[in-house]
Amino acid sequence: MNSVVPPLFPLLQPYRHGILPVDARHTLYWEECGNPQGVPVLFLHGGPGGGISPMHRRFFDPAYYRIVLFDQRGAGKSTPLGEWRDNTTPWLIDDIESLRSMLGIEQWLVFGGSWGATLALAYGQAHPRRCLGFVLRGIFLCTQDEIDWFLYGMRQFFPEAHEAFVARIPLEERGDLLQAYQRRLFGEDHEESVQAARDWSRYEGSCLFLQPHPEMLSAFEEDSVALGIGRLEAHYFLHHGFMEEDQLIRQIGRIAHLPAVIVQGRYDVVCPPVSAWRLHHAWPGSKLHLIADAGHAAMEPGTATALVAATEQFRQKQAFE
């Protein structure tokens, strides 16, 4: 199975990019691609801490869309990498608004997968008038059940990955893996912190695909990726995403009038389909596409095809009639 699929639009280069300082500690890397006069679309990456890549530009018709991408606090080319201080969901929402204001955009389509879908929902509920609609993949609502599933439940399907995930954790600490990782990720021992981030990131990367993709897993083991994912995912889990329990479902009425397409892998072990099902049923008028031959990753062929179809349907004004 190829990780790059034919329906994606061709590779393209940004026509503009830059660094946006958002406070005394954090700067954000951002870029724009496609049509400068086109309909704005905001891409929100996963993780937290995952960062953007050139592949993410390819879900959108560059002749039609003004494509805006950025690395969230502590991720990718934003600095400092893996920085968890002054890094919360409300701050990320404020960052999006700062970027939107800087770029002179009134409204945009919001596209996000996994944690990017979480952030898309939180942003939309905070600023519904700024959103044209949503394309969401691999739904994660940041509930305690979902966090517990990630830490313990995924071993039901990926026991070897989970065994490696806990290998450096003493038996007496394995009853609370999040606290065990907190002590290592945010402790004073730098080498231990980096190793813990690698272990966490490798665990997630091992569980993403329905079919194995060793070349993708190797990317999760690189410090430039692992430090963002390992530290920031744990940080956000420790604080329940800086939201109240089930907040995104309870506040869905704030954006229920807006169109939404939800794309979900049937065999997504990282973010099981029940969350997408709950979101769909809470959101009248949303469209749910369960992809029969996909796990969690955006670049699996069925999922990538459905995501491109969603952006094309939005362009053609057919998906939301």
CA dist 75 and 22 (Å) reads 14
Which residues are CB-neighbours of 77 under 8 A, at least 6 positions away?
29, 51, 71
Q: Which of 278, 308, 302 lies closest to 290, judged by CA? A: 302
Query: Does the annotation count 268 as an active-site position?
Result: yes
Query: Does the annotation count 296 as an active-site position?
Result: yes
Residue 260 phi, psi dihedral angles, 5° rounding: -150, 140
User: Alpha helices, DSSP H only, in the chain?
Assistant: 89-103, 115-126, 144-151, 159-166, 177-185, 190-206, 214-220, 223-238, 247-250, 274-282, 301-316
The structure tokens listed for 266 are: 């049937």
CA dist 228 and 231 (Å) reads 6
Query: Does the annotation count 293 as an active-site position?
Result: no
CA dist 81 and 115 (Å) reads 18
How do 287-291 and 260-265 pair as beta strands? parallel
| Active-site residue identified among 268, 280, 286, 289 | 268
| Active-site residue identified among 78, 95, 114, 162 | 114
User: H/E/C letters for each residue in 297-310?
Assistant: CCCCHHHHHHHHHH
CA dist 236 and 118 (Å) reads 12
Residues classed as catalytic: 114, 268, 296
